[in-house]
Amino acid sequence: MATTWWEECIVYQIYPRSFQDTNGDGIGDLQGIIKRMDYLVSLGIDALWLSPIYCSPMADFGYDISDYQNVDPVFGTLDDVDQLIREAHTRNIKIIFDMVFNHTSIEHPWFQESRQSKDNEKADYYIWSDSIPNNWQGAFGKRAWSYDEKRQQYYLHSFLEEQPDLNWRNQEVVDAMFSILTFWLDRGIDGFRLDVINCIFKDKTLRSNPRIVGSRPRPYDMQRHIFDRNRPGTHQKLRMMRQLVDAYPDRMLVGEIMVELPGEPELAASFLGRNRDELHLSFDFSLAYTRFNATKWQRSAKRWCEAIGKNRIPSWVLNNHDIPRIVSRLSGNVAKTKLAALFLLTQRGSIFLYYGEELGLPDSKVPWKSIRDPLGKRYWPVHPGRDPARGPMIWSNEKGFGFTDGESWLPFASNAASYAVAEQEQDASSMLHYYRALIGMRREETVFRRGTCAYLDTNNNHVVCYVREYGDEKRLMLLNFSGRKQRVSIRDKHYPKSDWILRFTSQRMLSDAKAETFILQPWQGCIYSLKSRSS
Ligand code: NOJ
């Protein structure tokens, strides 16, 4: 069956502020991404997703847009975007932009006009109320309603006060957003990552969310978000968006779905549409919030696959700009991190990587005085915010680590030089080479991208065991999620031991390959090919 690129791609997320600075202001820019294009090719990725680069006062570092059709000067110009698209396309790399449709910046001209009076042309572009109508909370703390002195009404903001929510019940807003998509599609953008897309449509009468009993640190988590998220009308809007995007060849939509933690995979899957007519892909972040444990990871991955079903495509992700980096979540344990990468890159569907993940880059330590993220400022020291996961890329061991000639906007990771691309290139056992090898294998072997996935029973619950199959091609994965050596035998008569040939290991294989049972070293992951029955 023919597949399109988004059904089996590897997307590399760039947080543009932190990737490569070329003008010495300590902030990454579009020319920086262009400069590193050959590195990106060398990774074997298929697409780049750029966190927002549009004009923004940066209250939430670009997730508060004041002009959707222009580039913030800190990142460059529209000409730079055109050049980026050209340079990427020449190398067969797609460009995905981040699109923030739930809210704008408070400085967007629409909001500036909307707040002037109750009857101006943009009066209904946002959600206004004479009094606080319900119990809705902002995801970043405080109530979701703020008073505007000028209009003498409250406006809704699901995130910061600087991010007023758009009114998707106003057809003019819908048309405006769709024409923004068209603007970028016409320019050659290959797809969009849609920010908190299940939040765009709100309850018509703004009913209060039901409260949850118990106690949680964030007031936002003390209610069931049934009236400010996931409204049925969202699906219709997504179907329209899908039609618009599908009118262009080979474009795609991947949606961020806000869920209750650790995850609601069925909900994330529901936005692909029962008839595959909404988002092309959606994110499930369960693995990022699930303890690193064989049973739990297997259960979580299975649940996601079941929610997606055979005819739709799952996407997989361990890192992004909102969550601590995986190596830091795993307390710096490189063997565990490699195991996690092996799990990630042997799943069916599309994979999302986050810049620096391929280096095993940990979170930066960000002292109070250097905090930039509004969440960090609000919640430190209880929550350090998201800056640690947004530290600069490490290219070399020179001053500024090849990222900048100036003063970096965020601190570098501790021991930064040891993670540098230039260093890792020289070391065959580095994380960088490990990621390249896994990516390379995935690119070469269809079975990893499209094959079915079945979990097999073993006698050892520290080990995750699954088989990928595509026609005659079969691969077996054994992953030891424990810090001890484990013996495993597979209780499946279809796969006798003698048929397996070791293809890849996350660590040097120390065990006897001929032994009746498999022996896995602590945190070791192995990939085996299965000899075909006829051979
Ligand atoms: C989700 C984005 O990933 C996050 O960085 C942002 O702060 C919120 N949406 C609000 O746009």
DSSP string of 180-236, one letter each residue:
HHHHHHHHT--EEEETTGGGSS--TT-PPPPB-SS--SSGGGGB--SSSS--THHHH
Cα 61 to ligand 1 centroid, rounded to whole Å: 9
pLDDT tens digits for range 223-242 = 999 999 999 999 999 999 99
Residues linked to residue 128 through DSSP beta bridges, in sequence order: 155
Cα 529 to ligand 1 centroid, rounded to whole Å: 41
Q: Is 200 in the pocket of ligand 1 (CB under 6 A)?
A: no
Q: Is 196 in the pocket of ligand 1 (CB under 6 A)?
A: yes
CA dist 142 and 159 (Å) reads 9
**Ligand 1: which atom is nearest the Cα of residue 375?**
7
For atom 5 of ligand 1, the residue with the nearest CA is 322
pLDDT tens digits for range 338-389 = 999 999 999 999 999 999 999 999 999 999 999 999 999 999 988 899 999 9
Q: How many CB atoms lie within 10 A of CB 170?
A: 16
**Pocket perturbation via mutation, ligand 1, pick of 17, 53, 102, 195 by most ligand atoms within 8 A of CB:** 195
Dihedral (CA of 117, 121, 122, 128) sign: positive
Decide if pLDDT at 326 tops 90: yes
DSSP string of 121-184, one letter each residue:
TTTTSB-EESS--S--B-TTSSBSEEEETTTTEEEE-SS-TTSPBB-TTSHHHHHHHHHHHHHH
Q: Is 162 in the pocket of ligand 1 (CB under 6 A)?
A: no
Lowest-confidence segment of 10-14, 284-288, 508-512 by average pLDDT: 508-512
Decide if pLDDT at 533 tops 80: no
Which candidate, 208, 121, 231, 135, places its Cα nearest to that of 170? 121
Which of 195, 228, 284, 445 is flagged as catalytic?
195
Dihedral pair phi/psi, residue 490, rounded to 5°: -100, 130
- Region 23-33: mean pLDDT is 99
Task: Please give the share of the chain, as a percent, with pLDDT higher than 70.
Answer: 97
For atom 11 of ligand 1, the residue with the nearest CA is 63
Cα 140 to ligand 1 centroid, rounded to whole Å: 10
Decide if pLDDT at 137 tops 90: yes
For atom 8 of ligand 1, the residue with the nearest CA is 63
What was the pLDDT predicted at 514? 54
For atom 2 of ligand 1, the residue with the nearest CA is 195
Which candidate, 396, 329, 394, 334, places its Cα nearest to that of 360? 334
Sheet holding 281-282, edge to edge: 281-282, 252-255, 191-194, 94-99, 47-50, 10-14, 350-354, 315-317
Q: Is 279 in the pocket of ligand 1 (CB under 6 A)?
A: no
Residues linked to residue 223 through DSSP beta bridges, in sequence order: 211
**Ligand 1: which atom is nearest the Cα of residue 158?**
10
Residues in contact with 244: Cβ distance below 8 Å, sequence separation at least 6, in sequence order: 178, 181, 182, 185
Cα 281 to ligand 1 centroid, rounded to whole Å: 18
> What proportions of the chain, in percent to the nearest 5, are helix, strand and coil?
30, 20, 50
Dihedral pair phi/psi, residue 223, rounded to 5°: -140, 160
Under the banding of pLDDT at 50, 70 and 90, the label for residue 499 is: confident
- Region 387-412: mean pLDDT is 98
pLDDT averaged over every residue in the chain: 96
pLDDT tens digits for range 146-174 = 999 999 999 999 999 999 999 999 999 99
What was the pLDDT predicted at 341? 98
Q: Is 195 in the pocket of ligand 1 (CB under 6 A)?
A: yes
**Pocket perturbation via mutation, ligand 1, pick of 104, 140, 159 by most ligand atoms within 8 A of CB:** 159
**Ligand 1: which atom is nearest the Cα of residue 60?**
7
Map out the domains of the chain with their CATH numbers: 8-104+170-443 (3.20.20.80), 452-530 (2.60.40.1180)
Q: Is 60 in the pocket of ligand 1 (CB under 6 A)?
A: yes
CA dist 486 and 140 (Å) reads 43
**Ligand 1: which atom is nearest the Cα of residue 103?**
11
Cα 321 to ligand 1 centroid, rounded to whole Å: 9
**Contact at 8 Å (CB) between 518 and 478?**
yes
Using a cut of 0.95, tell me whether the model's pTM lies above it: yes
What was the pLDDT predicted at 191? 98
Q: Is 63 in the pocket of ligand 1 (CB under 6 A)?
A: yes
Which of 256, 264, 358, 373 is flagged as catalytic?
256
Residues in contact with 363: Cβ distance below 8 Å, sequence separation at least 6, in sequence order: 324, 325, 328, 388, 389, 391, 413
Cα 6 to ligand 1 centroid, rounded to whole Å: 23
Decide if pLDDT at 511 tops 90: no
CA dist 312 and 305 (Å) reads 9
Decide if pLDDT at 408 tops 70: yes
- Total number of residues shown for the chain: 535
Cα 195 to ligand 1 centroid, rounded to whole Å: 6
For atom 6 of ligand 1, the residue with the nearest CA is 63
What was the pLDDT predicted at 494? 79
What was the pLDDT predicted at 465? 97
Which candidate, 390, 439, 272, places its Cα nearest to that of 18? 390
Q: Which two tokens stand for residue 315?
A: 């996407």
Under the banding of pLDDT at 50, 70 and 90, the label for residue 532 is: low
pLDDT tens digits for range 478-487 = 999 999 999 9
Q: Which two tokens stand for residue 435?
A: 């990621």
Q: How many CB atoms lie within 10 A of CB 18?
A: 27
Axis-axis angle for helices 233-246, 171-187 (nearest 10): 30
pLDDT tens digits for range 79-128 = 999 999 999 999 999 999 999 999 999 999 999 999 999 999 999 999 99
What was the pLDDT predicted at 2? 78
DSSP annotation of 104 = -
Cα 489 to ligand 1 centroid, rounded to whole Å: 44
Task: Please give the share of the chain, as a percent, with pLDDT higher than 90.
Answer: 92
Q: Is 159 in the pocket of ligand 1 (CB under 6 A)?
A: yes
**Pocket perturbation via mutation, ligand 1, pick of 196, 229, 285, 377 by most ligand atoms within 8 A of CB:** 196
Decide if pLDDT at 422 tops 80: yes
User: Which stretches of 50-122 are DSSP H helices?
Assistant: 78-90, 109-114
Phi-psi region of 471 (alpha: psi -120 to 50; beta: other; left: phi over 0): left
* 256 in active site: yes
CA dist 30 and 53 (Å) reads 9
Cα 189 to ligand 1 centroid, rounded to whole Å: 21
Q: Is 387 in the pocket of ligand 1 (CB under 6 A)?
A: no
Residues in contact with 2: Cβ distance below 8 Å, sequence separation at least 6, in sequence order: none
Q: Is 264 in the pocket of ligand 1 (CB under 6 A)?
A: no
Under the banding of pLDDT at 50, 70 and 90, the label for residue 535 is: very low
Q: Is 155 in the pocket of ligand 1 (CB under 6 A)?
A: no
Q: Which two tokens stand for residue 177?
A: 């957003």
CA dist 529 and 533 (Å) reads 12
pLDDT tens digits for range 245-269 = 999 999 999 999 999 999 999 999 9
